[in-house]
Structure 1
Amino acid sequence: MTIAERTRSEPDLSPLFEPLTIRGVTVPNRLAMAPMTRSFCPDNLPGDDVVGYYQRRAEGETGLVVTEAIGTDHPAAVGDTGLGEANLPLFRGQDTIDAWARVVKAVHPTGAKIIPQLWHQGPMRMPNADAPAFSPSGLYGDPEKAADYYVEKAKIMAAADMPLPTDEEIADVVDGFGRAAAQAMAAGFDGLALHGAHGYLIDSFLWRETNRRADRWGGDAVARTTFAVEVVKACRRAIGEDKPLLFRFSQWKQQDFRARLADTPHALEAILGPLSDAGVDLFDASVRYFNTPAFPDVSNLSLAGWAKKLTGKLSGAVGGIGFSKGMYDTMSSSSGGANNMPILLQRFAAGEFDLVSIGRALLHDPHWIRKARRGENLPAFDPESLTRLT
């Protein structure tokens, strides 16, 4: 193929390589590495292999690296989720700060920025004798609605004893997020991301199926944001006014791919509005396919587009970018490339979102972004990438 032919056939990705300022931090381009759990942290700490893993993605022209989810110091924050996941990282003090500081120091010379994603698994955690799973109303959801590959594990989680947490216990979990955020700043991270999606703890407070409390932590859609709002405020206090705070949310849950956090734009605004006011700078809208209309009866706008429209804050798109299958459809089979970059660029040019998060493509090839910019051939996704750090 000649240069002229390649120019005509390949989409122009240059708009995605413009810098983006999020609060007081400027990232060099609009392409981020999506947070992906890897389970390569023995003793809950990243080692040399994890340092190299993130460094290679930054060297491959990723503008913003968002780490795998890192747990807080709450006893039930992380554990086995039934997918064979172990060796999960968590913030637990100076050893954590020192370990993640090595990752940050490896990424920064490339020009990329790096932020950690904080999480608490909540009800999405296999039974553990040391600390029961934590859910606002002691509920997992309906395990029969889980995906086929996950339904047996879901039944075990749903049947586990999850005591109804007290007001004091919930407040302590909020404080744990604040402590983790402070440790992230001590490690030198450029900002913070919160995992408020996929049925994990923050999302379980937002979702009416798992939050049926009648106290200050539950009620209508706005009242159900109280926990998330308090977490955002605690993290904002810890990271200061100059660092960006990203918030991932989703309609779907691992308990139920067809679940909906909000059925209308008005209902979504009731949830995102308080979070925006509390200090969120960018809403990371997690969907299985980035261009799926969030409310098809209203418009063709994606979930990221609605988040930006309703809050006036920045938003990020993620889900199936560059591939023909969604993430959960490639856990046991490969996925070839898909020509969805023109669609992505069209929606980006329309101002629908500001940041684009790449997941599986970067899992498979640390230089995927650089190759995409150069118009090089891009490999299909190999599910073996899930089992190794490349």
Structure 2
Amino acid sequence: MSTALDTLARPISLGKLDLSSRFVMAPMTRKRSPGGVPTAENAAYYRRRAEHGIGLIITEGALIGHPSASHEDDVPRLTPGPAEEGWRLVVGEVHAAGGRIAAQIWHLGGERRPAGTAWTPDTIKGNGFDQLLRAYAESARTAVRAGFDAVEIHAAHGYLLDEFLWPRTNHRTDRYGGSPKERAAFPADVIRAVRENIPAEMPLIVRFSQFKERDYAARIADTPGELGDILASFAEAGADVLHASQRRFWEPAFDGDPANLAGWAKRLTGLPTITVGSVGLDRDRLADLATQDYDLVALGRVLLAHPDWVELARAGRGVRYRKTDEDTYF
């Protein structure tokens, strides 16, 4: 186990972005941004994680500037004005601690929306696609101005872009629906729009998953070939890194092969990958971090209780997740 943790504590580069370690802070919604504006409290929260061995912090999901993105007022936006200034404060604190930080861009789609108000693959009409692409592009430009080191697009867990990928929520018969490649077409358009509005050297991460927030057995791809079609579309559109979210990182993604979802993503595309899923919640599984094929490892809940989890774990101290005052929602 110590060998795996020591290896992950070594520096790595994503293109021209140098990271102090291969540990990543996974995005976790905090619901502590009044009016969608990050505060000094948010900045201090992220800085605490940057101070203790985390190479890259990925923010909680930040909403694009479109009325359909969410109805929640305490989830941060990534839009010009006060929200941009709030994120600039967050970025400044993380950089002052020697860390690097990526902005995660988010649209909830049908999840957590009152009936009849959600924009989903089956309800978007007319120029709605152009509106969304412009909003994603504006959030990307905002991230650049705020000083972020990278951008992540949230295309996982049953939110809007993942709803396009999942045949159960995408019944379109135009170019945005049908085969796995066709279902990936709008997420790929979003990736392309973001890529065109950030510097060429800025890493663009795409987070994807099989499972949904309310359906752990869901799958966007039943075979490696179907997954390859989806991820190839992401790569061709400009994705640099794939963040493969699964509930338990040690579980195989497909029958007959031990590779997890991040391992398959790397095998299918050759791109750097991030694995995530209950890392640190089961101490006996930490040794498995050395047996898989991926580049970075993301930590979620354990960092809420223990911002210094990486240092504690490398020192051989057993630490587990426990609720804290920062664990109000994610």
Q: TM-score, normalised by structure 1?
A: 0.81
Q: Give the Cα separation in 2 of the matches to 1:167 and 1:376.
A: 56
1:344 equivalent in structure 2:
289
Give the match's secondary structure for 1:273: helix
- Any conservation in 1 of the 2:209–2:246 contact (CA below 8 Å)? yes
- Any conservation in 2 of the 1:207–1:261 contact (CA below 8 Å)? yes
Match of 1:299 among 238, 257, 260: 257
Task: Structure 2 unaligned segments of length 5 or more: list them.
Answer: none
Q: Give the Cα separation in 1 of the matches to 2:7 and 2:214.
A: 37
Deviation at 1:388, TM superposition (A): 8.1
1:150 equivalent in structure 2:
none
Match of 1:100 among 54, 63, 87: 87
Match of 1:136 among 115, 121, 139: 121
- Any conservation in 2 of the 1:11–1:341 contact (CA below 8 Å)? no
Give the match's secondary structure for 1:386: coil
Q: Give the Cα separation in 2 of the matches to 1:123 and 1:270.
A: 24
Q: Count the aligned residue pairs.
A: 330
Deviation at 1:289, TM superposition (A): 0.3
> After TM superposition, which residue ranges in structure 1, 4 or more long, deviate above 3 angstroms?
9-12
2:176 equivalent in structure 1:
217
Q: Give the Cα separation in 2 of the matches to 1:195 and 1:79.
A: 17
AA aligned to 1:136 is: P
Deviation at 1:192, TM superposition (A): 0.2
Q: Give the Cα separation in 1 of the matches to 2:213 and 2:2.
A: 36
Moved more, 181-190 or 277-286: 277-286
Match of 2:17 among 25, 31, 42: 25
Please tell me whether residue 321 in structure 1 is matched to residue 279 in structure 2: yes
Deviation at 1:377, TM superposition (A): 3.5
- Any conservation in 2 of the 1:79–1:88 contact (CA below 8 Å)? no
Q: Give the Cα separation in 1 of the matches to 2:315 and 2:173.
A: 55
In our comparison, the structure showing a higher alpha carbon Rg is 1
Q: Give the Cα separation in 1 of the matches to 2:138 and 2:120.
A: 20
Deviation at 1:379, TM superposition (A): 3.8
AA aligned to 1:307 is: A
AA aligned to 1:16 is: L
Give the match's secondary structure for 1:301: coil
Please tell me whether residue 377 in structure 1 is matched to residue 322 in structure 2: no
The answer to which structure, 1 or 2, has the higher relative contact order (CA under 8 A, 6+ apart) is 2
2:108 equivalent in structure 1:
121
2:266 equivalent in structure 1:
308
Report 1:42-57 matches (<5 A). 42-57=34-49
Deviation at 1:216, TM superposition (A): 2.0
Identity across the alignment (%): 37
- Any conservation in 2 of the 1:136–1:204 contact (CA below 8 Å)? yes
AA aligned to 2:120 is: S
Q: CA RMSD in A?
A: 1.8
Q: Give the Cα separation in 2 of the matches to 1:28 and 1:263.
A: 36
Report 1:180-199 matches (<5 A). 180-199=139-158
Task: Structure 1 unaligned segments of length 5 or more: list them.
Answer: 1-8, 81-85, 138-163, 325-337
